[in-house]
Each structure stands twice: as structure tokens, then as C-alpha cells.
Structure 1
Amino acid sequence: MKKLVMSIALAGALLVAPTVSEATVKMGDRGASVTELQQTLASKGHNSASNVDGVFGPMTLRSVQSYQRSTGISSPAGNFFGVAGPATLSSLGLSSSGSSTSTASSSTSSSTSKSTAVAGTSTTSSNSGVISTARSLVGSPYVWGGTSPRGFDCSGFIQYAFAQNGKSIPRTVSQMWSAGSSVSSPSTGDLVFFETRSGPSHAGIYIGGNQFIHSGSSTGVTISSLSNPYWSKTYMGAKRL
């Protein structure tokens, strides 16, 4: 009888024992789990230390893929290539509970609720979110007329970064120039404009430290300096939307 009771108890324990969570950290996620993932990948040489912002964008996707290829966890032919699931998280020594990660379509308050400082310049929570989104898209290709991470033109990139943070702005560079309020010197989150052809024809988002992020026709989404001879020569001014 004792053996029967023990067998029943053991079977019950097995039935209620917690299983490994199937939570994943994937493209579009934000939060502490993404930050932890980015930091761990950076410590293993698969991510840039500058790409630790709590936003799972294209750069983090490539970092995860690089790690998965190097460890044999997944490959371009795999169904979960670029998704940090239980196997990837466990290999990195991270918890796979994933309870602190939220999707980009849900609230972005965790990444935008605090003001941040970029090169000594304070930003509002709204601008902080725009900058965070813009940085997560570095490396996206340039596509004429493009308005998504698959490819952006310069104004499509700016409009997308603002739209992801709840702000609707005009579509074209000339419309943005007309809609904005001129400022004598840009603050983080302002738009900077350039006359690469006649009139305002290129624009980017100022991120502080005399730098701006933009989608260049030969570079895709990248960070450039206003001190660069080409950009300083064509610079028209800054506007605030």
C-alpha cells in the first residue's frame, strides 16, 4: 500500500512540475529582457556595446543570428533563426521566462518614460523613444520611396521613427521643412536639413554630439557627423516638429 501511495504521489509531482517556458525574445520586443540579451551577446563578441538599448531591432537580429550560427543552434534554414528562444537563452545563461519583455505594438512606456542625455543634451520622453527607434534601425537598406525596415528613403525613415512613437509627421522632406519651427541650433530629436539638390532635399534626426541619424542613398540608415565636409557644406538648418 505504501508503495502504491508513493507511486501516485510521484506521478502527481511529475504532472504539476513546471516546464521550461516557451517565451522568446524576438524582433520588435522591448524591455529588460532585450537589454540583458544585448549585453550578454556583446560580452561574447556578437553585439556592439553601443547597441544596448532594450529594443530588438535589425542590429540585435543580426547579433542573435551570428551567435546562433557560431554555436550551431540555428541557421538561415531554421524556423527560429534570429529568434532568441529557450535554446538560445539557455545557451547564453539567461532565463527563458521572458516575463519582462513586451512587444513593440504594446506600450512603449518602459523605453520612453525616462528622459535620457545624449552628449550632454537632455531629451523629452517622446524624443527619447524616437531616437531609440531610429538607432534600432541602423543598417536598414536605402530604398527609394521606402517606408519600412525592409528599406527606407530619408523621409520615410524619419516618418517611420516618429510614427512608432505616436507622432504623425509629413511624408516628404520639403513638407517637413515647411511644417517645422526653425531653431538656431538643434536639440536631440530635432530634424536637420540639407540642400543636396535645389531646396531641402535630405534630412535626418539630430541625436546630439553634432551627430544625426539618417537614411543615406549610399549607406542606408547610418549615423553621420554634421562636421563631415559634405554635410557641413549642404547643411540648411534645423527644425522642430
Structure 2
Amino acid sequence: MKKWIATSVLGSVLLLSPMQAFANIGDQTLRPTMTHSDVRTLQSILRNKGYFTYSGSYTSYFGSYTKSAVVNFQRAKGLTADGIAGRSTFNKLGVYNVNNTYLVDYAKRFMGTPYVWGGTSPSGFDCSGYINYVFKNSHSIYLPRTVADMWKNTGYRVSTQAVGDLVFFETYAPGASHMGIYIGNGKFIHAGSSTGVTIADMNNTYWKPRYVGTKRL
């Protein structure tokens, strides 16, 4: 009986774990007049999308400029224009509730899957098709289809990598044209055209000079 209870509890924990998330931007609802470190990132994301027009430095205070930017963004996206940056607003901004450890564990399930141009399933992936599939099936998050669109519209730029970040590279075309998921220790998992789904070192002689940047969801 004790063994059955322990097994049931463990199973419940495993089933729930994909829905648990770490403290990412968007986990805290941001409201006018509040002060929070995430407000700076919110301002940065809104500026990159053309909504935050204040010319000064980013601040942790959610003032009138930030509220106006949020309201205008919400109106443009068909959301309730209340000026409050909650989960639905962050989702539209391309910032999601992600359990990064589970994301990486799920991504590794497809190691060895062959590369197929335009592939979006475990029978064969291209690089963005792989990222799309992993996010959709591990977290029900639907990302843009192409690398260029993900680089432009998903997440926010960071200067250093953390597990679960998206890393981008310039390969066959100018700008971001290849991508993968950072898994720690300078490595990322991706669908390579000559390797299929595999783990690569960001600092090797091929990838290091082609690195474009990192975005966090």
C-alpha cells in the first residue's frame, strides 16, 4: 500500500512538472504605479516593437509612459486595453511561461532525428520546425514558423545565456538564419542540416563566428 501511494505521488509530481515554471519575466503581473525590476524588461520589449517611445533610460517604475505603451500594444493586438501587463499581454509580446528544465529534457527526446528541409515532425525537422515542435508539444506554445520571425518577434534579447534560451546564428543567409535551444555549459541542441538533431558547442570554430544573439522567453 505504501509503495502504491509513493508511486502515485511521484507520478502526480511528474505530470505536474511541465506546468511549473521558474521566475521569468511575465510571471509577475505588472500594474501602473508599481515598482518592479521586470518593468525595465517590459519597457525594452515594448520599445523594440515600437510602442515605448520615452527617450530616457529604462526604469523599474511603471509610470504613464509605460502604461500608454501597454495600452497601445493591447489595442493593436485585440486585448483588453487596461494598461496592465499580465499573462495574456506577455504572451502577445512573445514572452511565455516556460519550465526551462522540462523544455530541454523534452528537446533531447528527439536526438538523432534526421534533418528535413521544411520538416516539422519527428520524422524529420528543419531547425525552426524543431523549435516549433518542442515548444508546442511541451508547453502548448505556438511560436512563429521561421527563424527570422522568431528572432524579430519572440522573447527579448539577453547578453548571457541561461538554460532554455533561444540562440541564433547566421548561416546560409544574412541575419539570423539558424537557431537552437541553449542547454548549459556553452552547448545548444538544434536540428543541423548535416547532423539532424544533435548537441553542439557554441564556442567551436564553426558556430562561434556565426553567433548572432540570444533571446529569452
Q: Normalization by structure 2: what TM-score?
A: 0.56
- 1:204 corresponds in structure 2 to 180
Aligned residue type for 1:133 = Y
**How far 1:226 sits from its partner (Å)?**
0.6
- 2:103 corresponds in structure 1 to 130
CA deviation map 1:180-201 (0-9, x unaligned): 3110111111100001121110
**How far 1:114 sits from its partner (Å)?**
7.9
Contact persistence 1:112–1:128 (CA under 8 A): no
Question: 1:157 & 1:101 partners in 2: Cα distance?
Answer: 28
- 1:166 corresponds in structure 2 to 140
Aligned residue type for 1:232 = K
Contact persistence 2:18–2:99 (CA under 8 A): no
**How far 1:239 sits from its partner (Å)?**
0.8
Matching of residue 143 in structure 1 with residue 116 in structure 2: yes
SS of the aligned residue for 1:162 comes to helix
Aligned residue type for 1:109 = L
- 2:209 corresponds in structure 1 to 233
**How far 1:113 sits from its partner (Å)?**
4.2
Question: Greater RCO between the two (CA within 8 Å, min separation 6)?
Answer: 2
**How far 1:111 sits from its partner (Å)?**
5.4
Matching of residue 221 in structure 1 with residue 194 in structure 2: no
Question: 2:205 & 2:157 partners in 1: Cα distance?
Answer: 23
Aligned residue type for 1:168 = Y
Question: 2:170 & 2:15 partners in 1: Cα distance?
Answer: 34
1:114–1:170 distance in 2 versus 1, CA, 3 Å: closer
Contact persistence 1:174–1:200 (CA under 8 A): yes
- 2:168 corresponds in structure 1 to 193
| Residue ranges of structure 2 left out of the alignment (5+ in a row) | 1-5, 23-96
Question: 1:208 & 1:129 partners in 2: Cα distance?
Answer: 13
CA deviation map 1:14-57 (0-9, x unaligned): xxxxxxxxxxxxxxxxxx99xxxxxxxxxxxxxxxxxxxxxxxx
Q: Normalization by structure 1: what TM-score?
A: 0.50
SS of the aligned residue for 2:135 comes to helix
Question: 2:150 & 2:213 partners in 1: Cα distance?
Answer: 12
**How far 1:129 sits from its partner (Å)?**
2.0
Question: 1:170 & 1:108 partners in 2: Cα distance?
Answer: 27
Aligned residue type for 2:160 = S
SS of the aligned residue for 1:140 comes to coil
**How far 1:127 sits from its partner (Å)?**
1.5
Give the superposed CA RMSD: 2.6
Contact persistence 2:186–2:201 (CA under 8 A): yes
Which structure is larger by alpha-carbon Rg, 1 or 2?
1
- 1:109 corresponds in structure 2 to 16
SS of the aligned residue for 1:229 comes to coil
Question: 1:240 & 1:114 partners in 2: Cα distance?
Answer: 14
Question: 1:169 & 1:111 partners in 2: Cα distance?
Answer: 18
Contact persistence 1:112–1:129 (CA under 8 A): no
| Residue ranges of structure 1 left out of the alignment (5+ in a row) | 1-31, 34-99, 116-123
The number of aligned residues is 134
